[in-house]
Amino acid sequence: MANDLNTYLSSKTIFDKISDMTRIVDPVKKQVINYKDNEGVISSKPCFDFWEKNKICDNCISMRAYNDDTTYVKLEYKGEKTYMITAVPYDLPDRRVVVEILKDITNSMFLDSGVGSGTEVTGVHALIDAMNKLAFVDALTGLYNRRYILEKLPVDLVNATLSSQNVSLIMADIDHFKNVNDTYGHMAGDHTLKVVAETLSSCLKRGSDWAARFGGEEFLICMPGSDLEMASSMAEIMRQALEKQVIRYEDKEFGLTCSFGVYCTSSPETEHPEEMIKSADEKLYLAKKNGRNRVEY
């Protein structure tokens, strides 16, 4: 199967005209795989190193292609060059990989908005950043969205396995949020979600930690490398910060509380992201059942 893939990648066809570079990646482990003599050799550099931004790509379409088993396309840039990337999932006998087809379109890009080859490079790249951000950021709160959770959490679990560390999840839910909408209106409810998001984010001090809107009035906080004690302490800090928060919207003032569920895995190599989320959600349900405005772990 690997030889078939090599033949596909090395064939001299019209494919050469639509690709400047083709590589095979494992987007979960962030590895580039070079096949020779039917054997996969892992590159010493991670796949995101090519973009020279010194960080994992937030909007990783190869991860999306891997998860959804379908092809995705996006624009990205490196230095002053702009690339079109096509990510194609491909199942080998022992794993799924993604074939990334990269094409330099710096001098052949035309956009109806008027942004194209005649525009300053920084303007094009700002547009690409904005489009990529739309893919993984919740429009209302500015936190990461659910798609980001499903793409980033598996990567954090792999990294935790390699470094023999834990991964902790915190699930937070606003108590009686329906009452806010019913009493003060849905615009006040939207404002409340923004305040909660800002408060949760302000509590996080480590660069590896991240927060996302899971859905509705529920939020997820991921803390790679933290144990249960550290994560539950953070949840308590967040709970107290929100309990002290005064929500001001137009001429209205009101308070709120949140309930928290915390889960930590000590064996990330055996964990599945959805199971971790379910475990944290079960702790959150317990916090609700035991009176709300509390942390359960």
Would you say 102 and 84 are in contact if contact means Cβ atoms under 8 Å apart?
Answer: yes
CA 126, CA 130: separation in Å to the nearest integer? 6
Tokens 């109806």 sit on residue: 112
The answer to whether residues 167 and 222 touch, using CB atoms and an 8 Å cutoff, is yes
Q: Which residues make beta-bridge pairs with 26?
A: 31
Confidence of residue 2 (pLDDT cuts 50, 70, 90): low
Q: Average the pLDDT over 272-279 and give the result.
A: 94
In degrees and rounded to multiples of 5, residue 32 shows phi and psi of -100, 130
What's the pLDDT tens digit per position in 137-155?
A: 999 999 999 999 999 999 9
Class of domain 146-296: alpha beta
Give the integer Cα–Cα distance in Å for 146 and 16: 37
pTM value is 0.82
pLDDT exceeds cutoff 80 at 238: yes
Query: pLDDT digit string (tens) for 43-97?
Result: 999 999 999 998 889 889 999 999 999 999 999 999 989 999 999 999 988 889 9
The set of catalytic residues is: 217
The confidence score (pLDDT) of residue 116 equals: 46
Domain 2-136 has CATH 3.30.1360: no
CB neighbour list of residue 184: distance below 8 Å, 6 or more residues apart: 249, 252, 254
User: 177: which 2 tokens?
Assistant: 């949020």
Residue type for 162, please?
L
Where do the domains of the chain lie? 2-136, 146-296
pLDDT digits (tens, 9 = 90+) for 8-27: 555 555 556 678 888 999 99
Other beta carbons within 10 angstroms of residue 147's beta carbon come to 17
Q: Report CA-CA distances (Å) from 30 to 10, 71, 151.
A: 23, 18, 12
- Buried/exposed 173-196: b ≥16 CB within 10 Å, e otherwise: bbbebeebeeebeeebbebbbebb
Strand (E) positions, 164-245? Answer: 167-174, 210-215, 218-224
**Closest alpha carbon to 220 in 163, 258, 256, 248:** 258
CA distance linking residue 152 with residue 239, whole number of Å? 25
